[in-house]
Structures are given as structure tokens and as C-alpha cells.
Amino acid sequence: MKPFDYVRPATVTEAVAAAAQPGAVYLAAGTNLLDLMKGGISRPDRLVDVTRLDGLDQIETLADGSLRIGALVRNADLAHDAEFARSYPAVAEALLSGASAQLRNAATVGGNLLQRTRCAYFYDTASRCNKQAPGSGCDARDGDNRSHAVLGWSESCIATHPSDFCVPLVALDAIVEIEGRGGRREVALDELHRLPGDAPERESVLEPGDLIVAVRLPPAARGFAAHARYLKVRERTSYAFAVVSAAAALRIENGRIAQARLALGGVAAKPWRARAAEDVLKGVAPTADAFQEAARRALESAKPSGDNAFKIELARRIVVRALTLAAAGTPVRIPALPASPFASTSGAVHV
Amino acid sequence: MSELNLTSAPAHLRHGSNIGQPLTRRDGILKVTGQASYAADNHPPGMLFAVMAVSSIARGRVVSLDVAAAKRHPGVIDVMTPDHKPELAIDPDLKTNPFVFRMEVLQSNDIRYANQAIAVVIAETLEAATEGAAQLAPRYEVQPALVGLDAGESFVPPVVGVGNPTESHRGDVEAGLAAADKQIDATYETPPQYHNAMEPHAIVARWEGDKLFLDTPSQAMVMARARVAELFGLAPEKIHIRSPFLGGGFGSKGFLTGPQILGVMAAKLVGRPVKLVLRREQMYGPVGHRAPTRQRLRLGADGEGRLTALDHHARTVSSTFDDFYEPAADASHTLYAAPAIRTSHDAVRVNTGTPLFMRAPGEATGSIALESAIDEMAWACGMDPLAFRLKNYAEVEPMTGRPFSSKALRACYEQGAARFGWAKRPLQPRQMRDDAGLLVGWGMGTATFPALMFQAEARAAIRRDGSGVMEIGAHDMGQGAWTALAQIAADSVGLDIDRLDFRSGTSDLPDAGIAGGSAHTATAGAAIHSAGAAVIGKLADLATSDERSPLFGAGNAGVIARDGRLIRRDDESRSESYAEILARAGVAEVEARGTGAPNPAAMEQYAMHAHGAVFAEVKVDPELGQVRLTRMIGAFAAGRIVNPRMVQSQLFGGMIWGMSFALHEAAITDRRSGRIMNANLGEYHIPVNADVPPLDVITVEEHDPHVNALGIKGVGEIGITGSAGAVANAVWHATGVRVRDFPIRIEELLT
Ligand SMILES: Cc1cc2nc3c(=O)[nH]c(=O)nc-3n(C[C@H](O)[C@H](O)[C@H](O)COP(=O)(O)OP(=O)(O)OC[C@H]3O[C@@H](n4cnc5c(N)ncnc54)[C@H](O)[C@@H]3O)c2cc1C
Ligand code: SF4
């Protein structure tokens, strides 16, 4: 491994100062970063370990009814927080459908948001990758790309963002709190990740030194608790990234959808909010036809980036199913196989 | 001698026979407490770390390496390259016998496949060696890589597998097809797969003058020792290998690999002990794999569902520099009674590490295609797949006409089907749904694997205190050799297992042969059995020829050994303990050797195979295409079961692998570069706990008087055969979609 400095700042301000130096990166649980370092894909000069910073591991309800989740809260702790799971069931379900129990026990909220793509060519130092070396080309374009993006991709990059957690978060209008050299600021999660355009190496709007300190769910996010699901199709029952996933959340009043939220995962370089689909659902009854129409709208601009046209049809079907499940109501307990098409089958004990 | 101290009493101890008892693993406590040392756990004083730099191109040449940069890195001691390395005694590309495979040990700058070693960096720490390797920044002269089943001109290899004929036939296949009422002509593809043993290949090498001490996992220590001996010009006795535990092998540790030899070379170069452990991704290249196949099956059946012909052709690949051909089509030799059968193979060469033996080589790949085709034919004939298989049940081995030494397959079908509830299966696909609306499908497959034997030797002794010793350099890959072989050993000397010192796992013990071909228990067991019988014979000689013994005059044939005593067969009241016999004779111990080997006469006369029937249930989401196995039952007949617990685990493991074959496993090779793009356990999918439903194994009684003295057939590999096809057939039955490209992917089921 390339030798690197390791610093453990005592305060957020110190952390930001340390990480603003060229070659510095934040280290949270390291479940993604250390793999990248071992593979030679990331070769930082300095690791700024944020895991000992005080006060970033809290889950708090604010006076206005928002929920504030510290950036260091572990994925498992958040998912298993009973109050959290009751209020934001699709988020808890998404978290529990990700990675493995061991990884979830370690992984942090901030790290999950900023995890890198799983594009195999990105992980292979011998491949051409515009994210690794801007302008060098993209070996995924003509390579093995059945799991790549169908929305928002560009000629320069067709990678997807792999997070499950981000999908319901973006549907629920989550806000990211950032501490940077210029102080505190906020961006909508929907604005955090950038689409590749011609600069895929710029994955987010963060500037050097920017530290995610918290993620906030606005008060309205609680309003969907009765009808919220996450659905994730994957190639084995657990411990696999989504082929395609969707978070659906509905507010149903008098048999009609007062408000709908829908986002897709595994389809683009960011968690993909489907606002056009949400619009068609507003004010209508939760019927199969309405869901079909929403699915059509959600994927209207989709196009294959390679050998992955099937993902478009699959995404439509997942949207319909996720909406159907959400309309049927949030289950009292998160299924033993969270977010799985097999969630309803009994007898499962492992995830 | 083994330095291993196994835990005392295994559970379920019972007096009398040790064989047949479901003893728990005797090394279990060592393992769960972390005391079982695997090769890489050894850290002799002064040890350095070696890390391989590997090629990122699949074909071409290394034109430069920045050795100076690597050496400048703090902690780096030396960099071994084709220009700077200890000389070997022979060319590593020389095939000194058919069981020698070529390896890459820096003999040149040529690149044969991605992940081939191009240099070895030796340093004080693993981190320094790793960074040193990264600093080498190789430059290459790249040539276009040969990738895939259509790379280049195909050719007919001289042999497939281990010396099997490339083509075999019986009867007139074309006539059989022409006369058929129903025909199936279907092509199936299976991907490259990698063994992915939990324990990566590792070696700790230490030279002491001209003596060499190696800790390295091996499925065949004496063969490994011979290979090291010839490569380094040493007498085999100078080499000591310890391999008490393997974290899985599945065939990939059957032959010493290039990286292991590089570890020995590195230790020689720097004059200090060296440890070299492969990174997970480095195991995708130099340690063998299961070759991809494309198999065309043509079947004909008459109006009553009787096969008239079976034609099985397999295309496979080998490396550009060595020969191993997955004998996939040979799976059609033994199972179904077609009057005309033809099997054939051809191959192309690709830039890959040489494919090698991987759990059920040939049988696994061939079985999923054959069992799918049989299922397709049953459907074409409008018959239940079990009824169709029974209709075509082979009473003699179809390809050779030889009778089976034993074959309880009918009982496997019956018992498996009954336990599964197969009789309720609708003939048509896409008929069953569960409460949640998921499609449900049932499929089956027939399992088969030859009952092989190799050569082995064992040494037995009875000591003054009446306890026994059995020595054999056997290999425990996790399958339970420490336990099952000790059970055979204890019975062979008429002792309870806790009165027996079972020594194993090092190369200075008698040669146990190879732990492969599902033959280890049978072969090592036979050697143990005969060594035990021989030492008891000597003990009996002492007793029966001594007038002071109550056994005087009983003669060898007249005594039996039980519970540490020799007992007169015709008068059980007359007996004497081993300790008494030895004390009176004034000898410290008696010892004897025994061997195990196949019986050529019996093999000439009989076809010897284990059999089984596997039944699987899958559920498939009708719109989303995700598949999940929900039930699997396997009934197997494999001769005598030495330890039912270990056997069940072997069969479970095989069945899970079969499911993995059908639904998950594939190495993804970039078609341009020849690099494997998912060389890690995150993306090379194998089943996780949530994929594996409760499994059920039935071991069907089978007595085989011909395979060997103990009647053991072996269970290491058969579990994967039949299972893969059963799962694939269940997916068809659930969905009505026949997928012939494995593993079955979601997109194929999005109808
Ligand atoms: C085998 C495997 C399977 C997985 N499967 C899934 C899956 O199915 N679904 C899924 O969603 N995820 C999956 N993951 C990814 C996993 O969720 C992420 O690795 C994890 O969430 C990252 O969190 P971390 O705390 O370990 O981050 P780290 O690895 O420490 O950091 C990740 C990145 O975020 C940056 N960073 C971390 N914290 C901050 C912060 N507060 N402010 C600014 N930058 C920060 C780091 O600099 C780094 O670039 C899988 C991972 C593995 C290894
Ligand atoms: S898709 Fe993006 S991440 Fe993948 S190789 Fe191309 S540029 Fe790199």
C-alpha cells in the first residue's frame, strides 16, 4: 500500500482544514475506501479519520418535526432504531437490504451517501476510465455493461450510484448538511450527486474539505409512513447490489393519492427521483392503470447504455410493484428479507 | 511427524464399530478456537513477505519494469524478475509426467494470461511489498487477447480430462435420430468458474542449507514434494511439507501452482523465510478453473419415450500453453440407456490460465446440459421427467455394456421423489403459484460420479500400552479426513477411536495419494484398512504361537480384534489384550504397512459409479424474474457411509454448488482485454445463507462388494451433479422459459 498520513482531528473545523489539503480524503468506516486503496484505485496521501468526531452519531428530532441523522450513525443502528423505522419505514427497509450485516454494522450514513460506483472498469486500474483519468475514455461503453445506467448517462460515463439508502432518502426530500471551508451549508440530496455529463470525475457538488455532518428529513417525510416501501431486484437473495430498485411512498386520503414519492436506484449516477411519475399520481386513485402510467413516465427518458435494455422494462415493472406494495400499506414489521420480491414468503431467517 | 494435537473425544462416541458413526469433526474445536494453523498462519523468525506483481494484459510481453522505484520503497529487500531469480533445475514448462502442468515462474517476459506473475517483491512487511509491486509500473507490448469459446480455429484435442478418449460412440446415432418420433437439438453454455476456496493459496518457505520446509495447502503432498524436488534439484527427502488443514481446495490445490514455487524461489533468493499469499483477485488465473463449455445435445426418442439416440458434443477451451480439456460430454456415458450414444469434444485456445480440475470436472458441466436436455425430451414426449428417466434407466453402463458393481439409483429416485412429494407435480409448466402469487416450479436431475481409486500407503502400529498408531499423509480440506479416516483406522486395529493416535497432514508420512476424484476416503481408507489388518496379523502371530497365551494355536484366521483385545473366533471366552500380548513377547510395538489401490480386474469387469437423484423447488417472481430456491432434496447411493455427518455436509455442499451453477456463478471476462472483471467475492456471486433453503439429504443403503474392501464410493463431487440440472429444470417448470445459458439471469425470465 502507498504510505499515507493518518490524522484524527478532534473537531469538525480541524477535520475540514485537514481534509482541504490536496491528496486528503475522509475516512469513515472504510468499507468502501479501504477496498479502493487496497486495489490501488484510491491512492490518498492523507486519511482524515472522522469516526472519533463528537456529536455526529446522533439521531434527533428537531423542533419543527424534522429528523436529523448524524453522518457517523451506523447503517445498522439507524435501521434498527424503532422510532426511525416506524416513521420512515422505506428508508429502514432500504438500509437493511444493503450489503451484509457485518458491513451495515460498520458503514456510516456519510460514507453510504458518498460510496463510489461499482462499475468494474472503475475498479480495474488497467482499464480506461474517465472517472479515474479524465479524458482517457470509458471501457465500460463497449465492455460488460449489463448493469450500467439507463438514465442520465453520458458518452463519457455510464456508471450508476449503488446506494440503496439514498433511494428512499431522495424520494423523501432529504437534505444534506455540509461543513466546509466557508462554514455550514445545505443541499438537497437530489442535488448532491452530479450526473456525469462531460466531467464524470466530479461525482458530487462537494468541494475539497467538505464534510457531510448530517442528513435531515423534513417534517413532511413522516407523512408517508403508512404507505412506504423499498423494492430491490438483485441476483441473489441477499448481499448483492440492486439490478434495479425503487422506493415508493404515498399519502393516501379518502381513497386517493394526495401525494406520491418515487425514486429509482441502480439506474443512474445518482439516486433517481421520478417527479414526472409523482405528478401523474397526484389526486388519482391507487389503481394498476395509474401505476402503469407512472412507470411509463418514470422511464420516459431512459435509454440503454449498452447490453442493458432489460433494465428499462425491469424498472417499469419495479415501479408498478413498489407502488402497489406501498398502496397496500407498510407492513407492521420489516420483512425478514427486506425489499426482496420474496419478502412475503415465510420462513426466512437470514438476510 | 504431525505436530498436531487433536482434541480428545468427539461427540457420539460408541463402542464397537467406529465406521458408520456420525462423529463430529475431531479438529472442530481447534478450528473454532483459532488454534488450527493454516499455511499462512506460520511465521518463522526472520520471515519476509513476498507479493506478486501480476500482468494486467492477457497476451504480449513485459517490456519494462521500474525495479529501481520498487527497491527505493522503504522496507523492500529485493525484487525477483525474469532477469534476477534463482535458477531452477529444470525448465518449468517441461512436462515430466502427465500430471505436471505448466506454470509461470518468471521464466520469461511473455504474458500468457491476465494475472500472470511478472515479478515478486520481497519486503519486511506486507504493506511495503504491496507498494513495491505497485511501483513496478510495468510497460507492455500488447497483442490481441484470445477470448471466449469462438476464439480462433477449433481443434480436436488428443484426450479430454485425464486421458479419456475425445470421442466415443456406441451404435448408430444418426440412424437412431432418424428413426426417432421426437427429437431435441439444443445448445447449452456454461461460463468459466473459479474454485474460490476460502483460504487463498499460500506458502511459507524456509530453507535450511539444502533442506526445505514448506507450509502450504496441498491436496496431494507427495506429488507436490516431487514437483518441488524436480524444480529445485533436491532429493524429495530433503523437503518437508506441512498441510494439516486446507481452507477448501476443490481441485485448485491438487497441483503445486506457480505462485507457490515463486514463494520457494523468493526464499532462496533472499536467504530468509518468505511468505507469499495470493490476493483474492490473483486466484483468477494461475491456480486453475473450470473451463467454459458450449454443449450441443441431440436426442431422439420413440413413441413410448424410449431414447433412440444421444449425441453430446462439447466445445471447451484450454490455455495457449498447456492442455486440459473439460470432459463435459462424457457425462452422457453412464446414465441413460440409449442404444446409440456418441460423445465428442473440440476446443479453442484462449489467453487464460490453464483450466483444471474443479469439483466434478466434466461431470458438473456435462450434467447440467444433459439433465436439461433429458427434461426437454421428457416434455416433448409428454412424460413426467421421473417417468422418462425410469423408462430409460440403464441396467448396464450404456457406453460400455458393463454391469454396474452396484447401482441403487432406482431407490434414490423412489425415496427422493417420495420425500419431495414429486407425484403431485403437474406436467405442464407455469401451473403452480404460492399464496403470494409467486411462480413455483419443480425440477429434478440425476446425479452420477465415478467411484475412483488412486494409490496410497499407510503405516499402523500397536504400542506396548495397547494403544494404536496410524500414520498416513492424508489431506483434510474441510471434508473431515481427520475424522473419517481415523474411524476407519480405529476399526482396522480393533480399537476405540480415542485409543488411536492418528497422524496425518505432513509429507514425511506414508503417501496418501491425492485428495481428489472423490477417492480420498476410499483410497486412503483402503491403505489404512490393510495396514491395520497387517499389524493385527502380526500381533495375532505373536499370540497364537506363544504357548502361554490363551490364544495359542488359534491361528491367524481364528482371532478377531475388538476393543483392544484379540478374541478367539470360535470361543469368545478366550481372549487377550494387546498390551498383554506385547508385554509377554517383550516387544515395544508391532508395526506394519498397507497399501490401497484400485483392483484392475474388478474395474475391467464392472462399471463403478455413485448415483443420486435431486429434486428442487424454486420460486420465481412472475414479473421481476428474480429466482429463489425454496426446497432441495437429494437421495444418494454411494456405497458405505463412513461418517454420516461428514457425508451429509459433503452432499449439502455439492447441492449448494449445483444451485450456484444454475443460478449464480460466472466469471465475467472482458471480451477485448481478456481480464476477469469480477475477480472478487462481492461480485463473483456464490450463494449466501439467504439463498440456501433447508436442504435434505437421504443416503440410500448400498453394498458394493467390488469397488474396494470397504465398499466406499466417495461423496465429494457427486452432490453438484444432478443438482444444477434440477434447479434449471425447476426454473423452466415455474416459468415455461427454457434458459440454456448458465447461470440463469433475470433478463431471460422477463417475459
Ligand atoms: C461487498 C459489499 C457489498 C455492498 N453492498 C451494498 C448494497 O447492496 N447496497 C448499498 O447501498 N451499499 C452496499 N455496499 C456499500 C456500503 O454501503 C458502503 O461501503 C458504505 O456505506 C460506506 O460507508 P463507510 O462509512 O464505510 O464509508 P468509507 O468507505 O469510509 O467512505 C466512503 C467514501 O465517503 C467519503 N466519506 C465518508 N464519510 C464522509 C463524510 N462524513 N463527509 C464527506 N465524505 C465522507 C470517504 O472519503 C470515501 O470517499 C457494499 C459494500 C461492499 C464492500
Ligand atoms: S462507466 Fe464511468 S466509471 Fe465506468 S469505466 Fe466508464 S467512465 Fe469509468
At A345 the pLDDT is 62
Mean pLDDT over B295-309 rounds to 98
A132 CA: nearest ligand 2 atom: 8
Quote the ipTM score.
0.96
Cis bond before residue B687 (omega within 30° of 0) = no
Domain contains B125: yes
Ligand 2 close to Cβ of residue A159 (< 6 A): yes
Domain contains B350: no
Interface membership of B396 toward A (CB under 8 Å): no
Question: Which ligand places an atom closest to the C-alpha of A138?
Answer: 2
Distances (CA, A) of B386 to B219, B334, B416, B429: 37, 17, 11, 15
At B667 the pLDDT is 98
Per DSSP, B748 falls in state: G
At B16 the pLDDT is 58
Mean pLDDT over B192-203 rounds to 98
Residue A247, strand partner residues: A230, A263
CB contact under 8 A, B626 and A234: yes
At B13 the pLDDT is 40
Domain contains B155: no
Phi-psi region of B500 (alpha: psi -120 to 50; beta: other; left: phi over 0): beta
Q: Say yes or no to pLDDT of B574 above 90.
A: yes
Domain contains B93: yes
**pLDDT band per the 50, 70, 90 thresholds, residue B555:** confident
At B557 the pLDDT is 58
Task: Say if residues B561 and B489 touch (Cβ distance below 8 Å).
Answer: no
The verdict on B445 and B514 lying in the same domain is no
| Residues of chain B positioned with their CB less than 8 A from the CB of A240 | 685
Q: How many angstroms does the Cα of residue A158 sit away from the middle of ligand 2?
A: 6
Domain contains B70: yes
**pLDDT tens digit sequence for B398-416:** 999 999 999 999 999 999 9
Rounded-to-integer distance, Cα B286 and Cα B256, Å: 10
Residue B397, strand partner residues: none
Instruction: Decide: helix, strand or coil at residue A254.
Output: coil
Query: Residue B478 sits in which domain range?
Result: 455-597
**pLDDT tens digit sequence for B353-391:** 999 999 999 999 999 999 999 999 999 999 999 999 999
Q: Give the CATH number of domain A5-52; options: 3.30.43.10, 3.40.30.10, 3.20.20.70, 3.40.50.2020.
A: 3.30.43.10
**Domain's final residue, options B555, B581, B597:** B597
Residue A248, strand partner residues: A229, A262
| Residues of chain A positioned with their CB less than 8 A from the CB of B685 | 235-236, 240
User: What superfamily does domain A223-328 belong to in CATH?
Assistant: CO dehydrogenase flavoprotein, C-terminal domain (3.30.390.50)
Q: Say yes or no to pLDDT of B11 above 60.
A: no
Q: Say yes or no to pLDDT of B729 above 80.
A: yes
At A344 the pLDDT is 80
CATH of the domain at B742: 3.30.365.10
**Percent of all residues in chain B with a pLDDT value above 90, rounded to a whole number:** 96
The verdict on B470 and B442 lying in the same domain is no
**pLDDT band per the 50, 70, 90 thresholds, residue B98:** confident
Q: Which of B441, B437, B361, B392 is nearest to B182 (CA)?
A: B392
Within chain A, all domains assigned CATH 3.30.43.10 are found at 5-52
For residue B623, the chain A residue with the least C-alpha distance is A317
Q: Is B717 a catalytic residue?
A: yes
| Closest CA to ligand 2's atom 3 | A122
**pLDDT tens digit sequence for B458-497:** 999 999 999 999 999 999 999 999 999 999 999 999 999 9
The verdict on B445 and B516 lying in the same domain is no
Rounded-to-integer distance, Cα B96 and Cα B100, Å: 6
Domain contains B315: no
Per DSSP, B24 falls in state: P
Mean pLDDT over B38-51 rounds to 98
CB contact under 8 A, B127 and A236: no
Instruction: Decide: helix, strand or coil at residue A184.
Output: strand
Q: Say yes or no to pLDDT of B630 above 60.
A: yes
The verdict on B468 and B415 lying in the same domain is no
**Strands B468-471, B456-463: pairing kind:** antiparallel
Stretches in chain A below the pLDDT threshold 70: 345-351
The verdict on B468 and B513 lying in the same domain is yes
The verdict on B375 and B465 lying in the same domain is no
Q: Say yes or no to pLDDT of B650 above 80.
A: yes
Determine the distance in angstroms separating the CA of B126 from the nearest CA of chain A, rounded to an integer. Answer: 8
CB contact under 8 A, A124 and B675: yes
Q: Is the dihedral of CA B543, B548, B550, B554 positive or negative?
A: positive
**pLDDT tens digit sequence for B128-147:** 999 999 999 999 999 999 99
**Domain's final residue, options B597, B622, B638:** B597
The verdict on B217 and B90 lying in the same domain is yes
Domain contains B344: no
CATH of the domain at B67: 3.90.1170.50
Rounded-to-integer distance, Cα A179 and Cα A207, Å: 10
Task: Say if residues A175 and A184 touch (Cβ distance below 8 Å).
Answer: no
The verdict on B733 and B612 lying in the same domain is yes
Q: How many angstroms does the Cα of residue A29 sit away from the middle of ligand 1?
A: 7
Cell numbers 499402523: residue: B460
Cell numbers 478366550: residue: B574
Per DSSP, B396 falls in state: B
Read off the pTM. Answer: 0.97
Within chain A, all domains assigned CATH 3.30.390.50 are found at 223-328
CB contact under 8 A, B624 and A341: yes
| Closest CA to ligand 2's atom 2 | A157
Task: Say if residues B60 and B351 touch (Cβ distance below 8 Å).
Answer: no
Task: Say if residues A103 and A138 touch (Cβ distance below 8 Å).
Answer: no
Task: Say if residues B588 and B463 touch (Cβ distance below 8 Å).
Answer: yes
**Count of structural domains within chain B:** 3
Round the average pLDDT of chain B to a whole number and report it. Answer: 96
Ligand 2 close to Cβ of residue A268 (< 6 A): no
**Percent of all residues in chain B with a pLDDT value above 70, rounded to a whole number:** 98
**Domain's final residue, options B549, B580, B597:** B597
Of B131, B363, B702, B717, catalytic: B717
Domain contains B261: yes
